[in-house]
Structure 1
């Protein structure tokens, strides 16, 4: 069964004339999205004290689910831009940014509004306004958020920073330039890690929130997309083994290289660079492995609503765990988050997704 189908067709929708590959959709990648969210949820739901126990190391490592989101985002964007260039001979920058705005901004702004409303209700908006202003300008990772509801949306700032320059660079340098861009991003990331190690920056704050550090994940996604047609094909048992090995790699990065350890200081530059390279490689291998595995329908759906799951899980967690603690609180949080995300997807996000399809030059899955 092929992973992608390309059928050229000239289509006129609104003001966008395009040749389109009408059936570019991989349900396995929705499962990857859900896996990434589930990892982030575990990271946030399991309390940690910095004891260094196996349980806490596992919880720390699940934070790399966010890196998986970054790798997957760059992988998909690169695939779509490559196919758009092959089908039309160019990249429509205006259509790209309209699609990104319609997909990301509505739910993002809703999430920020929830955070502002809560801060106002608790009379702490004045103290938190700097972060909310930064987040509104997609610079939320540049201001250390602290204990602010919705502060996990700092990751959207890094996504938008990547989107700001990558499509323009592809259009200017061409498809071959994508490889150069990926190499430049990896170089910048490692130079930044060397500098941060020299000043003994906090791995879980200053290093983790740094745009250039996380750009290594986007570079990994770009390289993975460029090699897409020659990626290995594994059996299901081998793919499951790779998934388990990648989780082990995340735990090694958290436990040995201390990339997500609370209260620790940066190790050597070699340790930081090796640790983040390990995380990036593991994320790339997870995407390859999941594309060889079955895709259960519920997991596909959970992947489709994963943006809402990510946006809403922390406010739901805060509300639930103030009354219900332990495993019961985490389980209830997960169920309620699914419900809220499903409602958001059906009644809030879907109208914007339908509008977004008018600007697609490479058709993807219809909501």
Structure 2
């Protein structure tokens, strides 16, 4: 039993919701590239352009909270088992999970842009993406085609540059440190948006959501320490509340006047749903099933590949005007989603898995994303 891998029920389902939300939202936002001007699944903005899906907008926040929870859960278990954290092994595991697909996709995009448009990124832009600083060109609106979404991977990798050291250094006082950091980051974000709205520093404060990962980390520690706060988050009415918010996101009905408040709310709701899934007892919606598990395994690939497929499909279909617009829209969504899933499937099982299997050699606490 000691060597049995850690399995947290339902987390693949959360990954699935977040990844598909982001993908569908991005396809809808790109409908103009297909000369589809009268149809939008989520309405139109003030400029007459297709609107985004609120679930897609907050899918990244869900990923951040989930990542902070899971990685901190495993670090806590490792510290509990060995009394320390193997920093080198931690970073090797991160490299094996993120780098192969990250750099493969980056290479494919650079080659694709060169073939289609005859251009290559500048040295500075190339370096931003090479060293996981994609949030910089994203905020300054200089992101490469099909690489806008890499900002979130950059933010996550930047967070994990210091997180295991912080975890190891503070140990006992870690909860207080996390609360302090979350409070400082939140107050700074509110202050800077009040004083300098839409400035670069204000935009960076929203994009660099370290507080979302810290919230997930705090949740993991409280869960492992069997805190009464976790019992509260697992109450039926809290779970129902969380899923009502999620349903409003899925149906595009949740609109707040302030995006900062939305980030706090979605982070809290995601943590509650995580707790509800792994505790099982008061689970309102069961996300642990074969379909959700399958798409959860593919979620990183779905998130990474879909912008390139939007670009390629729009490039080859932009002059398709003879079809009925509704049929054309269905074709666009169906083709991009199908291709994304197919490519993500082959990527996961025949490329990513080669590196994921190596992770076990560097894992002190073994984990699995399938219930075996």
TM-score, normalised via structure 2 length: 0.79
1:1-367 to structure 2, matched below 5 A, reads 7-8=1-2, 22-47=4-29, 49-51=44-46, 56=51, 59-121=53-115, 122-126=117-121, 129-143=123-137, 144=140, 145-146=142-143, 148-201=145-198, 207=202, 209-210=204-205, 213-228=208-223, 229-230=226-227, 231-232=230-231, 233=234, 239=239, 242-248=242-248, 255-259=255-259, 272=260, 274-291=261-278, 292=283, 293-294=285-286, 295-322=288-315, 323=317, 325-365=328-368
Offset of residue 240 of structure 1: 5.8
* Alpha-carbon displacement from aligned partner over 1:242-299 (angstroms, at most 9, x marks no partner): 323234379999733253xxxxxxxxxxxx3x33322322222232344423312021
CA distance in 1, matches of 2:252, 2:180: 25
Q: Secondary structure at the match of 1:197?
A: helix
* Alpha-carbon displacement from aligned partner over 1:113-172 (angstroms, at most 9, x marks no partner): 12211222212314x553332021111102233452222111111011110001011111
Task: Say if 2:23 and 2:302, in contact at 8 Å, map to a contact too.
Answer: no
Change (3 A) 1:178 1:97: farther
CA distance in 1, matches of 2:14, 2:240: 13
CA distance in 1, matches of 2:367, 2:205: 31
CA distance in 2, matches of 1:206, 1:334: 35
CA RMSD in angstroms, aligned pairs only: 2.9
Offset of residue 206 of structure 1: 6.7
Which segments of 5 or more consecutive residues in structure 2 lack a partner in the other structure?
Answer: 30-42, 321-327
Task: Say if 1:240 and 1:289, in contact at 8 Å, map to a contact too.
Answer: no
Offset of residue 196 of structure 1: 3.0
Q: Secondary structure at the match of 2:136?
A: coil
CA distance in 2, matches of 1:334, 1:252: 20
State the structure with bigger RCO (CA 8 A, min sep 6), 1 or 2: 2
Change (3 A) 1:71 1:102: same
Task: Say if 1:31 and 1:299, in contact at 8 Å, map to a contact too.
Answer: yes
